[in-house]
Amino acid sequence: MENRTDTVPGSVERPAGRAGARRPTIVLVGHGMVGQRFLEALTDRGLTTSARVVVLCEEPRAAYDRVHLTSYFSEGAAPEDLCLVEDGFMARHGIELRLGDPAVAVDRGARTVTARSGLVVGYDTLVLATGSYPFVPPVPGRDAEGCFVYRTVEDLLAIEAYAAGARTGAVVGGGLLGLEAAGALKGLGLATHVVEFAPRLMPVQVDEGGGRALRRRVETLDVSVHTGVGTQGVVTGPDGRVRGMALSDGSTLAADLVVFSAGVRPRDELARECGLPVGERGGIVVDASCRTADPSVYAIGECALASDGRVYGLVGPGYEMAETAARRIAGEAGAFTGADLSTKLKLLGVDVASFGDAHGAAEGCLDVVYSDPRAGVYRKLVVAEDGTLLGGVLVGDTESYALLRPLTGTVPPVAAEHLVLPAGAGAPVTLGVSALPDDAVVCSCHNVTKGAVRDAVGTHSCTTVPEVKKCTKAGTGCGSCVKVLGRIVSAELAANGIAVDTGMCRCFPQTRTELYEIVRALRITSYRHLLDGYGREAARGGEGCEECKPAVASILASLAPAIGVSGHVLDGEQGALQDTNDRFLANMQKNGSYSIVPRVPGGEITPEKLIVIGEVARDFGLYTKITGGQRIDLFGARVEQLPLIWTRLVDAGFESGHAYGKALRTVKSCVGQSWCRFGVQDSVRMAIDLELRYRGLRSPHKLKSAVSGCARECAEAQSKDFGVIATASGWNLYVGGNGGATPRHADLLAKDLSDAELVRLIDRFLMFYIRTADRLERTSVWLERIPGGLDHVRDVVVHDSLGICAELEALMAEHVAHYRDEWAETVNDPERLSRFVSFVNAPDTPDPTVRFVPERGQIKPEPALLTLSATVTA
């Protein structure tokens, strides 16, 4: 916790600035998404240097992404992964954040705020960002054990803990949050019901036709939907725990857990108690500058009743309010007069979007509808008689949302009859970003126009989407505009005549993907042939560079069986192309020693093999470490010891774990249904099968995998390049995850797969990745870069949209059939063994610089040598 100040209860803090001059104090009550955006807006204007800023936060954690709260269940996100506060932000800007210490009273006469701890803070400006609270209908039993709301991380943690002993869950409310809550319960393995009083799901966002399509899609996911009925009460057992729900139609719904998600109400109690005006139905009354009746007090976000008479429950309007309040506090002009209520979400795996006048309230408007009940696709555009696009509803296919929403209020260059067709439905005209005017808002969360994005490229020299995000904040909110951002950036670069060299390196003008296709189609078997035939003119006849040599070596190794060459990385020309690790089939460590990592499929190992590892470590004096990938690493081997060590390991039945290569590292697993009382599938067997199938598979970057035996996700499968999670009906396959410095949670590719279906899809996914990824590109980066993203990858590997799946499967079959353990083949080949020496001209002399010192009963590299090694490497 940063900058927390302990003060005597009852004392008023009014600290002096430099030379005794008092700095004005800004007190922010509430630290949610909107509160954090307000703080960022203050820092953008330099106000945190001229004013003291104090934040009173009710929750025990700093601001986090409540929009993606469900990712805690659906993607395995940890609570800290959702944090919106950059490391060191509070300390860097001198902001005093008090977590778990909410404001309990405001004295407007004295201009003080009292916190729950007893701290009293004087203010010059007070900003209320208290948000909203979940509405729980006043029905009998609503406080029973097993009843929850769905609003905060703590709510989610409580639901997760209780669900471990439950089988069936029910959600009261079929709106946005209700369907998110249903997705969470489904992800926890509960049979799930949704009860909605309105006649359709998401009644605010979608119309009747969209509601029917949404219901069909949701019910195909084994979620029971009950619309047009209300909740009369919660049924409890003798122990006071939830047993079901009584509905208004006289029926009773069995349930062990109930989540209330029937809407929210503004948190306006502080304003009421200090005499500020509030709306008849709640909300702190503010004007266009977000100022209350008291000129010193502002209100922003879901607690505020805007000047247009609305309480906005979306993050985009809240961000705009935060900007408006910061501008006015800084003495700048600014007004909030309403906001875009468009939404695009993925609920229970179903894409849903609405924008503009989605229900056709305007007089004389027309509906243009496309509906495909079998595919679960519904698309409606609302247009005026003159062709002006007024709004729309999209269910099941929201691909064009990012382009349609900014066109609202204009006459599009393409007729609505064409625009309403979904992707792939044969629309005769494709709408591009050139159709958007410069004043079209492409990012409604941060109110960023197409013109601002173009300016970021043309004036500020941004050439990538991440650079544009940093410059404009576009795409950093809900993320629904990222695809269209990429298109605008590409179009603007082309319009400015900026040629971006897509070549892999200075030797090749082609991308890695293009080189892969050249090698595969022409069956090129050597780097020299490829460089002289297809390299840049200046590179032909040369030796190549350290970027393309290992990349081409990887291509040749991954295609080895198909093009008829040896797949062993040390054979012939291949050996010269490898980097240090591959050259010695081991990872070089800081002091010039090497590590040995035997493969332990699925983390399962016999006592006999454990004994062998222990004996090898003892006899060669190695450091041993059990890793997070369920393997045992041995450190400290000199290069000439590697063959001796691996001879013993190979004789004991061990294989290379490929920790040194851009290849499959490991398939981690939990113990699964064989031992765990929550397990629903044999995760160990599946992990072993997958690891043995894909061992030795060379790829653009390392590959990691995991298999979890149930939705509790103990193997952390959603942080892997391909992860598998067991369900009662089979396996769910997730792709594109990774840990590391920029972690990414994997996306669901397909669900409830049989063993054969799972393996077939992984085969296709891996070979498609190897075929199309760039050099040293992880699956996570590839998935976000490749045009069409996850949807395109799913079309290719699941639906075979390119007609290449048979070819991908054949390539994988070739790999599996021709796999040979690299170390087993090396220890039996004198020519390969000849390279394992420290000095070529003195092969029997060990490297004298490789030295160790004792630590905790083992060894570690000598500290002085670490400094020398780092200096030499640099």
Confirm or deny that 57 is annotated as ligand binding. Answer: no
Q: Is the dihedral of CA 142, 146, 149, 152 positive or negative?
A: positive
Q: By the 8 A CB rule, do 183 and 277 touch? A: no
Q: Any idea how long the chain is? A: 874
* 710 annotated to bind ligand: yes
Paired with 664 in beta bridges are 703
The whole-angstrom distance between residue 779's C-alpha and the CA centroid of its chain comes to: 13
CB 315 within 8 A of CB 322: no
At residue 93, the 3 state secondary structure works out as helix
- Residue for token pair 């892997």: 720
Strand extents, DSSP E, 472-607: 587-588, 594-596
Please, which residues have CB within 8 angstroms of residue 687's CB and are 6 or more apart in sequence?
Answer: 601, 602, 603, 667, 668, 669, 705, 706, 707, 715
Q: Are 798 and 770 in contact (CB under 8 A)?
A: no
DSSP class of residue 422?
P
Is the Cα dihedral 648, 654, 655, 660 positive or negative?
A: negative
Q: Which two tokens stand for residue 469?
A: 């995000």
Alpha helices (runs of H) in 655-774, residue ranges in sequence order = 683-694, 755-772
Cα dihedral value 812, 818, 823, 825, nearest 10: -170
Q: At what angle do helices 315-329 and 33-44 cross, to 10 degrees?
A: 40
Q: Is 731 strand, coil or helix?
A: strand
- Nearest residue to 862 (alpha-carbon basis) of 844, 850, 874: 850
Q: How many CB atoms lie within 10 A of CB 60?
A: 12
Distance from C-alpha of 680 to C-alpha of 677, rounded to nearest angstrom: 9
Of 705, 577, 595, nearest in space to 645 by CA = 595
Sign of the torsion formed by the C-alpha atoms of 65, 71, 73 and 79 = negative
* Token duo for residue 84: 């919106």
What does the alpha-carbon distance between residue 206 and residue 217 come to, in Å, rounded to a whole number? Answer: 14
In sequence order, what are the residues at sequence separation of 6 or more whose Cβ sits closer than 8 angstroms to the Cβ of residue 761?
Answer: 733, 749, 750, 753, 797, 798
Bridge-based pairing state of the strands 223-227 and 191-196:
parallel
Nearest to 578, CA basis, from 662, 701, 694: 662
DSSP string across 13-63: E--B-GGGPBPPEEEEE--SHHHHHHHHHHHHTTHHHHSEEEEE-SSSS--
| Residue 304 · residue 321 · CB < 8 Å | yes
- The neighbour count for residue 272, using CB atoms within 10 Å, is 12
Reduced to 3 DSSP states, what percent helix, strand and coil does the chain have, rounded to the nearest 5?
A: 35, 20, 45
| Whole-number Cα distances in Å, 103 to 209, 284, 636, 794 | 45, 16, 57, 49
- 73: nearest Cα among 147, 144, 146, 150: 150
**For the purposes of burial, counting CB atoms within 10 Å of the CB of 860, is it exposed (0-12), middle (13-18) or buried (19 or more)?**
middle
* Encoded tokens for 471: 């410059």
Q: Are 400 and 412 in contact (CB under 8 A)?
A: no
Instruction: Return the exposure string of 368-402: e unless at least 16 CB atoms fall within 10 Å of the residue's CB, then b.
Output: bebbeeeebbbbbbbbbeeebbbbbbbbbbbbbbb
Residue 856: both structure tokens together:
């905790």
- Residue ranges at the known binding site: 670, 676, 710, 714
Q: Which residues are annotated as a binding site for siroheme?
A: 714
Binding residues for [4Fe-4S] cluster: 670, 676, 710, 714
